[in-house]
Amino acid sequence: MDVEDAFQNLSLCMTYIPTTQEYYDALGWIWILFVIAGCGTCLLLYCLFVEQVVFAAQSAHHVYRNSLIWIASVFYDPYDTRISKFTDLTVLMYGSEEVMLWRMKDDNIKLNKLPLCCFFSCIKPIKMTKKKLRFIIAGVQQLPYSQCFYLIMVMILQAANQVVIGSLDPAGTYFWLDSFSVTSSLMGVYFLNVLSSASFDYLKRYNYSRLSFVMSALILLTKFQSLLFSILAYYGAFPCIPPISHYVYKETVENCFYIIEMLIFGLYSYRIYRKIPFDTANPTVVRTDLQGITLPHYESYVPSFENPYSGRGLVFPTDDNLEESEASRDSHENEFFSRGNRESVTKKCLPGKESCYILYKI
């Protein structure tokens, strides 16, 4: 039986994988375009990754460095480990979980967020607590583990010929495995959007809305694109052109989409991450100073007071006595700053005001 006759059998049209030479011959000159586009995109993304690693090592504070390098290193990730590291980075942008809770303590956190807004539209906004925050973070960070379990199970069942990729038959294994994978992805992105919407106002200087949008969009796009193409291939939407089966045709088209998407998202991510000030770590503790002022603060208390280190230090009021001993300054520093070194201390008094302001740059 030659290849032409074999492809009269539907099962072979679904499962036949051509040799490399057969694939080259079937694609003809188009194969050259695939090689050029694929190699060019991979080379560009690898160059951006290397440059981003060097940039993070030289310019980013060490508390951000691990998360930034991990996010920059992974563009298409079937295990969705990016989202876990992005959640860690979100907490670091606040300084710590303690500071994050202090920021959100009076906020009403809305739960009607995409992509599951219809299911939670009737639930009232909640007040953030430590247990609720950790539950939301756990809802995001479950995604790489669930996707790893899904992919391992699919590979095992495929090797045993116990699963048919793309089948929507409820009696089949693939239907339930993919339902689990889709539910996990939706829940992960949903909890990320809940966390992101609560953080937009506090993390504006990090351009957080764009960062979270890129992360959510990339995960949803790649997940549902792969699911859609698998279903279309199973039900014969892609042609079976010997020796290219439905499945191989589907993989070829899907990889073309991935090349374009990774190029767009890779360049955009590189651009926005380079513009964010990751050079300074934020305070990790929330204390109350001698005058009852709760810390941390990232902006001056008085709008007319120009803070030369806006967003990069703490400002708190003190008395009118401009002679503060170095020992007292060191005491403040040890109490309120757990990361970074004080580079300079600026003390200013507002005209006509009785109080002065001390700014510690960290």
Q: pLDDT tens-digit profile of 290-340?
A: 344 444 443 333 333 333 333 333 433 333 333 343 444 444 444 444 333
Name the stretches of the chain with pLDDT < 50. Answer: 1, 7, 289-362
Contact call for residues 340 and 359 (beta carbons, < 8 A): no
Cα 277 from chain centre: 17
Q: What is the CA radius of gyration of the chain?
A: 27
What six digits make up the tokens of 94? Answer: 């606040």
Report the alpha-carbon distance of residue 261 to residue 75 in Å, rounded. Answer: 9
Looking at the DSSP bridge assignments, the partners of residue 347 are 358
What are residue 116's phi and psi, to 5 degrees? -120, 30
pLDDT of residue 11: 58
CA-to-CA separations, 336 to 167, 302, 332, 362, in angstroms, rounded = 58, 21, 6, 11
Q: pLDDT tens-digit profile of 230-286?
A: 888 888 888 877 778 888 888 888 888 888 888 888 888 888 888 887 888 888 877
Contact call for residues 240 and 13 (beta carbons, < 8 A): yes
Name the region of 352 (left: φ>0; alpha: ψ -120 to 50; beta: rest): left
pLDDT of residue 168: 83
pLDDT of residue 14: 64
Contact call for residues 27 and 34 (beta carbons, < 8 A): yes
Contact call for residues 49 and 73 (beta carbons, < 8 A): yes
Percentage of the chain modeled with pLDDT above 90: 14
Report the alpha-carbon distance of residue 179 to residue 170 in Å, rounded. Answer: 10
Contact call for residues 238 and 252 (beta carbons, < 8 A): no
Question: Residue for token digits 């992960």?
Answer: 188
Cα 88 from chain centre: 9
